[in-house]
Structure 1
Amino acid sequence: MIGEKGLQRKSDVIVIGAGAAGMMAAIRAGQRGRSVVVIDHARAPGEKIRISGGGRCNFTNIHAGPKNFLSANPHFCKSALARFTPADFIAMVDRHGIAWHEKTLGQLFCDDSAKDVIRMLLDEMRGAGAQLHLGTEISGVERVAAGFRISTGQDVYEASSLIVATGGKSIPKMGATSFAYRLAEQFGLEVLETRPGLVPLTLDPGLLETVAPLAGISAPVEIRHGRTAFREALLFTHRGLSGPAILQISSYWREGDEIVVAVEPDIDISAQLKSAKQLNGRQSAQTALAEILPKRLAQFLVERENITGNMADLTDRTLQRLAASAQNWVVKPSGSEGYRTAEVTLGGIDTAALDSRSMEAKAVPGLYFIGECVDVTGWLGGYNFQWAWASGFAAGESA
């Protein structure tokens, strides 16, 4: 007992954060025979798991590898990803009888509900003897002779190892905070600039008004930013641009940059327009283009290029210009929708301060940072969950 403060709880490992990475770390540490306590301020564990993948949790991607992650040190993630792979997580899912399917591009989803994954992790934690304390606010973290002391409103927790898995700033309504970054700085670790990732992009009022008629339209595109390109769907919204292709490129985009949109990248629109001119010269350019693109988008592009008359009256050069308006469309977003809708946080705790095999702080033995709070950010499509599982496993294997 510690006077009026309440109970002093001692364990081998304390995990702060009951999300994907934290629960995985607790499972692995417990499986090694370590006594584990998991603390979270939320009332329920795995809230970001619950809402992910439209409620079905895109729990990994079979293609996950270092090339799918952004970091100031692109090599840092290699060790953890190699030691706990998508196949390892799939094996756990299969052991628990959770049905799943591959959607597209290696993305794996639960057939039923993301809650199945949360239940699986909680069952694994119980099996490993980990204790879970929810609705617990932390008031202080300090280094002591025995390791680390965590103070809450009621109790004091002590452990030789402390694993921080409190995520980044994305989706604050789910309880996201800057806790991990503040704690890292408290212990002398550098935190790199953070910004929203996997987030819709916004347009300035003038451009937004111009493209307003396109709101609600979705189309397959290739989005390019410098040498980086993604081929997925784009969605025009009342605020700007969204859809998987935009979310992907948003992690590379910075304010002031342009992106290039190519609608229906697998179609040679110029050639198809020229063919349409030969087959039916009496039709309008809008009608011909609407055979390839959504009707409202075709109308928008034809009007934007100020093209009138029948196809027979249009030169090949004019048709090429119309095709280019669809397939070499340069757009300069004004910003992003921010952490409110961002799926992840880019940047974070500098990997130079961490051991890539264990996720332990090099200058603070016993202190580990895992998951989204670290400067490792995956693409859209299950990659960030795989990083959570892998980095959590790495820390749990060492703590």
Structure 2
Amino acid sequence: MFDVLVIGGGAAGLMAALTAGQRGRRVAVLEHGPEVGRKILISGGGRCNFTNRTMRADRFLSANPHFVKSAISRYQPAHFLDLLARHRIAWHEKKLGQLFCDHSAQDIVQMLLGECAAAHVSILTDVRVYDVGKSDVFRVQTSRGDMTARAVVLATGGLSIPKLGASRFTYEVARQFDLAVVQPEPALVPLTFGGEHEEWVRALAGLSLPVRVTCGKMAFEEALLFTHRGLSGPALLQISSYWSAGESLLVDFLPGQDLAALLMTLKKEGSKAKAAGALARWLPQRLAQAFAQQGAPERTLAEWADKDIRLMAERVHRMELRPQGTEGFAKAEVTRGGVDTRGLSSQTMQARSVPGLYVIGEAVDVTGWLGGYNFHWAWASGHAAGEVAGAE
């Protein structure tokens, strides 16, 4: 008999467990893999981008954009930094407020395990959970026998990175208790191309440059990477969370500059450069050549008509690309969708219709931007659930 059973030993699950344990409750974490925190260990190039200084609700996607506000306002980046300080874990800040460990993501996992140990939380690995039922208490059927608890926290994550053991378990249990699930889809994921754009994109594989990419009303200005399969890089991963099948992207390959004005100046100076040579002043050589091959005049720039300059500038600043699809959950950093927030309390993460059942982390229909937001949602939602589950 436990007070709280946490199913899933990732970032959210460990935070919920240690928070409940610190309140004197008997807590166990059930992890189906051989070790906990595996996604933490591979994140951020092995250094774990554990949070972001800029923690705002508009950096998260959800059918209910206000859902995250309560949890992230009560558990802020400063709280996690205080935890790091107590464990003497050094960290540094990169661009756009992203915070990383100086040494290794292993430091984060050891810190969480240390906090769990201090709170007398049992960590059980290689445990399969077959069923979750409830009468007066929850009964959880596992490969180690039946366990009972007053509260169950579902923290098994989404479907991204299946090689780490991603599963639909939380969605299945949620539906069993009549909680709706928003269709899970890959997010923060490279996009693939076919048709007219496939050859153009593949020919530029390996090239990276800063761009501004737009989908609908959302735009991100960061690096774009051409791959043999399509497009990746921070800007593309960010916009992928907002992209849906059939939609187009607009890419500005020279953000913050006016290519038409730049080319017009060269024309007035009597430039003898042709399209590729002229564009290579501001764009990588291979990209300049690729644009030059898209119907640019063969004449020198001094001989271009003004309309030719305007057309080239339009191509570079507003190139429309229509992705064919994504590289799927295997390459997705997170899952968009999940347990519908309408069935959960934003303050406690508890199911409104099932007292004692909590859903946290990536399993919920909350998806953060690239840059530490998804880890912070794990900490904040886990902390919110652990506080209440541990207080009952």
What interval of TM-score do these two structures reach, taking the shorter chain for normalisation? over 0.9
Residues 379-390 of structure 1: matches in 2 within 5 Å? 379-390=369-380
Which residue, 52, 58, 61 being the options, matches 1:61? 52
Match of 1:106 in 2: 97
- Cα deviation, residue 138, structure 1: 1.0
Match of 1:308 in 2: 298
Looking at structure 1, the residues matched to 87 and 345 of structure 2 have their Cα atoms a distance apart, in angstroms, of 32
Match of 2:139 in 1: 149
Residues 87, 194 of structure 1: CA spacing in aligned structure 2 closer, same or farther, 3 A cutoff? same
Kindly indicate whether the alpha-carbon contact (under 8 Å) linking 2:161 and 2:329 is maintained by their aligned counterparts in 1. yes
Larger mean CA deviation between 379-388 and 273-282 belongs to 273-282
Looking at structure 2, the residues matched to 166 and 353 of structure 1 have their Cα atoms a distance apart, in angstroms, of 18
- Cα deviation, residue 35, structure 1: 1.1
Residues 1-399 of structure 1: matches in 2 within 5 Å? 10-145=1-136, 147-279=137-269, 281-399=271-389
Looking at structure 1, the residues matched to 158 and 201 of structure 2 have their Cα atoms a distance apart, in angstroms, of 33
Larger mean CA deviation between 261-270 and 250-259 belongs to 261-270
- Cα deviation, residue 333, structure 1: 0.4
Larger mean CA deviation between 239-248 and 208-217 belongs to 208-217
Looking at structure 1, the residues matched to 383 and 127 of structure 2 have their Cα atoms a distance apart, in angstroms, of 24
Kindly indicate whether the alpha-carbon contact (under 8 Å) linking 1:19 and 1:45 is maintained by their aligned counterparts in 2. yes
Kindly indicate whether the alpha-carbon contact (under 8 Å) linking 1:236 and 1:242 is maintained by their aligned counterparts in 2. yes
Kindly indicate whether the alpha-carbon contact (under 8 Å) linking 1:219 and 1:264 is maintained by their aligned counterparts in 2. no
Kindly indicate whether the alpha-carbon contact (under 8 Å) linking 1:256 and 1:332 is maintained by their aligned counterparts in 2. yes
Sequence identity percentage:
51
Larger mean CA deviation between 203-212 and 321-330 belongs to 203-212
Larger mean CA deviation between 387-396 and 123-132 belongs to 123-132
Kindly indicate whether the alpha-carbon contact (under 8 Å) linking 2:224 and 2:232 is maintained by their aligned counterparts in 1. yes
Kindly indicate whether the alpha-carbon contact (under 8 Å) linking 2:153 and 2:359 is maintained by their aligned counterparts in 1. yes
Kindly indicate whether the alpha-carbon contact (under 8 Å) linking 1:164 and 1:370 is maintained by their aligned counterparts in 2. yes
Residues 98-119 of structure 1: per-residue CA shift (max 9 Å, x gap):
1111111111111111111111
2:126 is aligned with what amino acid? G
Residues 21-79 of structure 1: per-residue CA shift (max 9 Å, x gap):
00000111011111110001011111111111111111001101111011111111110
Runs of 4+ in 1 over 4 A off after TM superposition: none
2:131 is aligned with what amino acid? G
Q: Give the TM-score taking structure 2 as reference length.
A: 0.97
- Cα deviation, residue 20, structure 1: 0.4
Kindly indicate whether the alpha-carbon contact (under 8 Å) linking 2:224 and 2:235 is maintained by their aligned counterparts in 1. yes
Kindly indicate whether the alpha-carbon contact (under 8 Å) linking 1:19 and 1:48 is maintained by their aligned counterparts in 2. yes
Kindly indicate whether the alpha-carbon contact (under 8 Å) linking 1:148 and 1:160 is maintained by their aligned counterparts in 2. yes
1:300 is aligned with what amino acid? A
Kindly indicate whether the alpha-carbon contact (under 8 Å) linking 1:198 and 1:343 is maintained by their aligned counterparts in 2. yes
SS in 2 for 1:291: coil
Looking at structure 1, the residues matched to 202 and 80 of structure 2 have their Cα atoms a distance apart, in angstroms, of 43
- Cα deviation, residue 266, structure 1: 1.5
Match of 1:7 in 2: none
1:111 is aligned with what amino acid? D
Unaligned stretches of 5+ residues in structure 1: 1-9
2:78 is aligned with what amino acid? A
Kindly indicate whether the alpha-carbon contact (under 8 Å) linking 1:305 and 1:322 is maintained by their aligned counterparts in 2. no
Aligned length in residues:
389
